[in-house]
Amino acid sequence: MQIIPAIDIINGKCVRLTEGDYSRMTEYSNSPLELAKIYEANGIQRLHLVDLDGAKAGAVQNWTVAQEIAAQTNLIIDFGGGVKSREEVNRIIDLGIAYVTVGSVAAKNEALFIQWLEEFGSDRFLLGADVRDEQIMVSGWFEKMDISILPFLDKYHQQGIHSVFCTDVSKDGRLEGPSIDLYKKIKSHIPTLNLIASGGVTSIEDLYALDEVGCSGVIIGKAIYENKISIEQLCDYILKNN
């Protein structure tokens, strides 16, 4: 199971929200680039980079941060937040970023997303499935769609999407543990899906529980910032399990 630290960006700075609420934001001292370099120096290979300004605005905003991290590290990056146009997809790929993270477009404009899959290849996208009560949330978690998680994943798995990260919005930033039952349900429904867990991870024990479920990766954010899980612990986990 891959360890994937999250760096969430507002105004070029590292932040964390609680349950996606922009009014419940904590700002951290490290610059995104400094933090990415720390992760890389400690053996981390993947990075989940989120433009929260972009998610709110409906268009990517923090291009400079993405460009710096892509240019100055060798991390395998997925980047998204407000991606709505072919031009943005192309620009992200041109930066050398491995995966374009797409959520809202996939939920609200199926035809456009399928067009992107055909043009760029499904392996260039990481589908974001953010949920509350198993219903898809979009637009920076401001809007709840009348779309259930399992049919949503089924549809795009049939279109060639193999990798998905799923965030239970009610868990995110609360440090109360991940949605194990939800991930069990998804893996039972689509066993071949590369499922990346996101939201609520608090302890090393959570990592082993998610590994047991069959998750292929786990995104960790606030638990690292708040030192609930140290980078040293993550390094030990990686060494023992790879």
**pLDDT tens per residue, range 63-86:** 999 999 999 999 999 999 989 999
Which token pair is 206?
Answer: 């959570």
Q: How confident is the model at residue 30, as a pLDDT?
A: 72
Which token pair is 169?
Answer: 């919005």
Q: How confident is the model at residue 23, as a pLDDT?
A: 80
Residue in this structure with the two tokens 């996208």, named with its chain if needed: 125
pLDDT confidence tier of residue 29, bands split at 50, 70 and 90: low
The CATH number for 143's domain is 3.20.20.70
- Give tens-digit pLDDT for 209-224: 999 999 999 999 889 9
Dihedral in degrees, nearest 10, Cα atoms 110, 112, 114, 103: -60
Q: Please indicate whether residue 137 or residue 92 has the higher confidence score (pLDDT).
A: 92
Element (H, E) at 55: helix 52-57
The reply to whether the predicted model has a pTM over 0.75 is yes
Q: Is 8 labeled as catalytic in the residue annotation? A: yes
Element (H, E) at 68: helix 63-72
Quick one: residue 57, left, alpha or beta (phi over 0 = left, psi -120 to 50 = alpha)?
alpha
The secondary structure of residue 175, as a DSSP letter, is: -
Q: Please indicate whether residue 24 or residue 126 has the higher confidence score (pLDDT).
A: 126
Q: How confident is the model at residue 172, as a pLDDT?
A: 62
Question: What value does the CA radius of gyration of the chain take, rounded to a whole number of Å?
Answer: 16
Element (H, E) at 52: helix 52-57
Selection from 166, 127, 131 nearest residue 147 by Cα: 131
Average pLDDT over residues 28-53: 92
- Give tens-digit pLDDT for 141-179: 667 889 999 999 999 999 999 999 998 887 665 667 899
Q: How confident is the model at residue 85, as a pLDDT?
A: 97
Average pLDDT over residues 87-99: 98
Which domain, by its residues, includes 208? 2-241
Q: How many independent structural domains does the chain possess?
A: 1
Q: How confident is the model at residue 144, as a pLDDT?
A: 82
Of the chain, the end-to-end C-alpha distance in Å amounts to 8
Q: Which of 20-34, 85-99, 128-142, 165-179 has the highest mean pLDDT?
A: 85-99
The Cα 143–Cα 133 span in angstroms is: 13
Active-site residue, from 51, 130, 168, 172: 130
Q: Is 206 labeled as catalytic in the residue annotation? A: no
